Chains A and B, each alone.
Chain A
Amino acid sequence: MKIVVLMKQVPDTYGERRLDTQTGRVDRGSSEAIVDEISERALEVALRYKDSHKGTHVTVLTMGPASANAALRKGLSMGADAAIHVLDDALVGADMGQTAAVLAAALPRNEYDLVIAGNESTDGRGGAVPAMLAEHLNLPHLSFLDSVELSVGEVSGERVSEYGSLDVRAPLPAVVSITERAAEARFPNFKGIMTAKRKPLSVVSLAELGLGPAEALAGARSVVLCASARPARAAGTKIVDEGNAGEQLAEFLAANRLI
């Protein structure tokens, strides 16, 4: 089984995250860059399968700035076998559509049975890249899986919706996205770090993928019209219980369409 896991480097959620209001992009300088936790969980799903199935090959793939190299190294240290970094200055500010197109071009053609991604990254939170990627590859897509089962020729899992849960399955090759319930990620140990140094990590440019900047980035489908800082939080509503707090609470929730 050959599995490709999409990894993304994002600003640390524990730090303060800022939007550059000039460009509408995430300000990567304002906090520490870390591997998005959901990517680590996606990798964990792949590694668990690899732990119990010898011969499984896991590749981690990222598109990102030079610093994203650290995310791939972490993936290799955790146990992935190979890494691919799509790095090109022309990709700065790429939107989801462009990202999906580039990732599709970077996937080693016919050399994977499954692509695993997180459902959405903690920075952009678009949550559409996996679906777009599946579309580019013309493959079935199972999204938002709380659990993933892999067998020869098939991937299945549980997808929870507002009203219940669905058991979904697709023939391989396929693209799946997972939620944070799918797996608790391991962290790299010393041996992992040392062996990672010997694993292949290839850096490829758009030209090497056979994409000209014009082709890859043609027709940005999303345009940021304006970006502004989040307004400061207003004081909340205080309900003092004088016998009818429950009623007031229900009214508040209903008025704000929360129930």
Chain B
Amino acid sequence: MDFSPNPLHDDIRDSVRTLCKGFPDEYWMEHDESKEFPWEFYNAVAEGGWLGLTIPEEYGGGGLGVTEAAIVEQEIAASGAGMGGCSAVHIGIFGFEPIIHHGSKDLKDRFLKRVVTGELHTSFAVTEPDAGTDTTNISTFAKKVDGGYLISGQKVWITKAQEAERMLILARTSPRDPNGKRTAGMTLFFAEMDRSKVSIRPIPKMGRNAVDTNELFIDGLFVADEDVVGEVGHGFRAILGGLNAERVISANAALGIGKAALRRGVRYANEREVFGRPIGKNQGIAFQLAEAQIRLDAAEAVVQKAAWMVDNGIPCGREANAAKYLCAEAGFFAADVALQVHGGFGYGKEFHVERYFREARLMRIAPISQEMVLNYFSEHVLGLPRSY
């Protein structure tokens, strides 16, 4: 095992940290309240060249791996930007895996360069109101027409649809066959977000309000044959390949929020004096903070291993899922502790821990719920019968 420092990783961390210093907690609080997309931050990240991180060098990207993308998102979250910061740039940093690995050369030529410059905004549209976690039960349908497909249906919880020019959308091209493979018959498209065919309604939500998440009503949206990603009928495969990586990256975002919260918690415990001494002198306070740190450290060890496995092409469903679970729990625990340590001031907005708390809570639900991770473990790690 080798845990010696990696100069490239240190430099990435240092540089992203410096960039984020220009966007303090107050910036994120304002955007969380006004629900305005953090354009200044997005543009700074794009200008810094970070959006092309995992895009192959031939398309102007950095050609790096999941480990590096994860470092960037953890640093963004840990700066206090939290999920507002990560979600604003996430798809640009790591949303194009299906096109990179399954897309045609034509798709890559047309779009990847514009991801690197930050011009191309996209959404990732899988979840549906009546399917939820049960992805293969989606009903959005793409009907074959001359030269392409017409998509109709409904999607929900689609992040960044307001800004998006295109979306990676999963739709059925043939109905679920009760006797066949549940995952067969779905196709992935890189569809235009044509506002005359897609109506987009923002969903009011608990937190991470700097970035919109929406309900989409799609009625006869045309997608050309050239914009199919991978093979028709095999869209699930095009998504599946990136799922472990996705878990590792979102786990890092969760860790980042936990670190931001803990940093504030520790500072406050040192500074706040009650009964004539800093509250951190009370073990009841100190131990909570210490435990939060231990949980973050443990989760980080697992997520580092998972990232390393993804980048080395080693199957890691177990590690990536465990990492997502542990980081989401550790991040939320840290946010909760930080809030508790701040007492009433934690419940107020001034110290930002309530915002971290609301955002850390999200990580136990999305991109995959903790329960579905436990389902994965029960079935695929422990060999228990599938329950659903």
- Interface of A toward B, CB cutoff 8 Å: 69-70, 73-74, 77, 187-194, 196-197
12 A-B pairs with CB atoms under 8 Å apart are A70-B10, A73-B7, A74-B11, A188-B11, A188-B18, A189-B15, A189-B49, A190-B15, A190-B53, A191-B49, A192-B15, A193-B15
- Is B62 close to A, CB under 8 A? yes
Query: Is there contact, CB below 8 Å, between B7 and A190?
Result: no
Q: Which of B39-63 contact A (CB under 8 A)?
A: 47-50, 52-53, 62
| A19 vs chain B, min Cβ distance (A) | 21
Query: Is there contact, CB below 8 Å, between B12 and A193?
Result: yes
- Given A189-B47, A189-B48, A190-B50, are A196 and B15 neighbors across the interface (CB < 8 Å)? no
Top-9 shortest CB links A-B: A190-B49, A189-B48, A187-B18, A191-B49, A188-B15, A189-B49, A193-B11, A190-B50, A73-B11
Q: Which of B6-23 contact A (CB under 8 A)?
A: 7-8, 10-12, 14-15, 18-19
Docked pose: A188 CA to B7 CA in angstroms: 14
| A44 vs chain B, min Cβ distance (A) | 13
Chain B 203-234 interface 0/1 with A at a Cβ cutoff of 8 Å (1 = within): 00000000000000000000000000000000
| B141 vs chain A, min Cβ distance (A) | 40
With a CB–CB cut-off of 8 A, which chain A residues contact B49?
189-192
With a CB–CB cut-off of 8 A, which chain A residues contact B52?
190
Query: Is there contact, CB below 8 Å, between A190 and B48?
Result: yes
Docked pose: A77 CA to B16 CA in angstroms: 13
With a CB–CB cut-off of 8 A, which chain A residues contact B10?
70
Q: How many residues of B contact A (CB 8 A)?
A: 16
Q: In the complex, given contacts A73-B11, A77-B11, A188-B14, what are 18 additional A-B residue pairs having Cβ atoms less than 8 angstroms apart?
A: A70-B7, A70-B10, A70-B14, A73-B7, A74-B11, A77-B15, A187-B19, A188-B11, A189-B50, A190-B12, A190-B48, A190-B49, A190-B50, A192-B49, A193-B8, A193-B15, A194-B62, A196-B11
Docked pose: A191 CA to B53 CA in angstroms: 10
- Given A187-B15, A190-B15, are A197 and B8 neighbors across the interface (CB < 8 Å)? yes
With a CB–CB cut-off of 8 A, which chain B residues contact A196?
11
Query: Is there contact, CB below 8 Å, between A74 and B14?
Result: yes
Docked pose: A41 CA to B53 CA in angstroms: 27
Docked pose: A192 CA to B11 CA in angstroms: 10
| A210 vs chain B, min Cβ distance (A) | 29
Docked pose: A171 CA to B192 CA in angstroms: 61
Docked pose: A123 CA to B50 CA in angstroms: 32
| A252 vs chain B, min Cβ distance (A) | 29
Docked pose: A34 CA to B44 CA in angstroms: 22
With a CB–CB cut-off of 8 A, which chain B residues contact A188?
11, 14-15, 18
With a CB–CB cut-off of 8 A, which chain B residues contact A192?
15, 49
| B113 vs chain A, min Cβ distance (A) | 14
| A200 vs chain B, min Cβ distance (A) | 15
Which of the listed residues A70, A77, A188 has the most CB atoms from chain B within 10 Å of its own CB? A188
| A57 vs chain B, min Cβ distance (A) | 22
Which of the listed residues A74, A187, A190 has the most CB atoms from chain B within 10 Å of its own CB? A190
With a CB–CB cut-off of 8 A, which chain B residues contact A73?
7, 11
Residue of B nearest to A185 (CB): B18
